[in-house]
Structure 1
Amino acid sequence: MKDAEYVTHFSLWAISKAPLLIECDVYKEKKVAFASSKLLNVSTEIVVANCSTSSKIEAKRVQWTHNSQDGTIRSALDGRCLSINNCSTDEGAIINQQWTVSSADQTIVSQMNGKCLNFNQQHGPHVNTLTCNKQDYQQWLWNAIDGTIRIKHDGQCLTVLQELEVWTSPLSDHSQAVVLLNRGNSGNESITVKWTDIGFPNGQAAIVRNLWTRKDLGIFIGNYTSPNINYHSVIMLKITPTQNK
């Protein structure tokens, strides 16, 4: 792995509240030689974030909203549409992003081809569209309260696979640990974390601190947008509410 990927690996491990162990001689193992210069000098603030007494939670990934007027189903995290790929690019091809949601038979049907959103485990969990058959692999339970969509078959959530991710975990001092991850394989992107996504009011002022550099980045209201993050890299933050001035 590259140096930045070791930082990414460690950051995700830490925010997931997993044990922080290195099972090798870091002074001899070439592939983790980076650990001797970087990971052995890990910010104590990251260790504190890992050991917080707050309850362990899964990192927030996605929620969904359905617009019955235009038929779109959008990720609440990044606003992107649930879409059938490899469709016609001719005028009007937006129909590949339009869906009819039926609460009666619990189906999500493509307006492009009339087929049902289908859960498939043949090559790992994923979804596709197939002829509607009224089986529980095509029945979806939409929770209007938390915005999740679960497959009736085994209760797994419909999840968007995305390149830019925001991982969050609460800390015992009522702040939030946040990892901004660029999972892409090329390029660099900025990532925005919204206060409303991490349990803070939209108008809340908060101190944003970079846990790897151990530097405060300033006080921000409502959200924080990172500088560009290289692919396979992260920025790990601590976001602490403060009084508005």
Structure 2
Amino acid sequence: MSAATLATLTNPEVIAVNQDSLGVQGKKVAFASSKLPNISTEIVVANCSTSSKIEPKRLQWTYNSQDGTIRSALNGRCLSINNCSTVEGATIVLSECHINDSQTQCQGKNQQWTVGIADQTIVSQMNGMCLNFNLQHGPNVDAHTCNEQDYQQWLWNATDGTVQTKHDGQCLTVLQELEVWAGSLSDHSQAVVLLNRGNTESESITVKWTDIGFSNDQAAVVRHLWTREDLGIFTSKFTSPNIT
């Protein structure tokens, strides 16, 4: 076990939050899209309900049969096999489209797909692998040898633009890069986690007081539990340094 891992597991302030007597489970209270260019975002399956804390456009897709791309309604980026990998279980991400771009890795062939109407598959034109809902590592989506199972079959909804796995009806979803999670503690403070799910660079994240049950004009002390130091007194919001 590394020294960093040991320090995290034995941090008394983190342990105190985890064992707080109020026993309130933290929940996601806010999210935002990354502002960084050229970021690659992981693709998962998630509940299709619009009542969940997911921007509807993260669930919506369009297929261009001319160039084979599947593009997100969120930002027009392309469904891609990460790093042009040809191995079983290669990660599926959303990234900038580079079809026929000779300056990029594999010239965008990792972003071209064939949508099977009869068998309901989505097959990579680069390596013939199927878009696969990984049941063992759910909710992840990867590229896998086609096997005619329902977790490789996808139902396109022409009305709302969603793509649902035939296995359990969940929707193909662009993972939210920046998230704020919070939970109340017995001393009336809030435990807050700022989470960067992006897989390329670090980025700052802002938590607004109104998202965690405080009034907008309230002054609050922000404490960094990992380093066990107070960062200062802030009003209405706090913006973190870059988080990887």
TM-score range, shorter-chain basis? 0.3 to 0.5
Greater relative contact order structure (CA < 8 Å, 6+ sep): 2
**TM-score, length basis structure 2:** 0.47
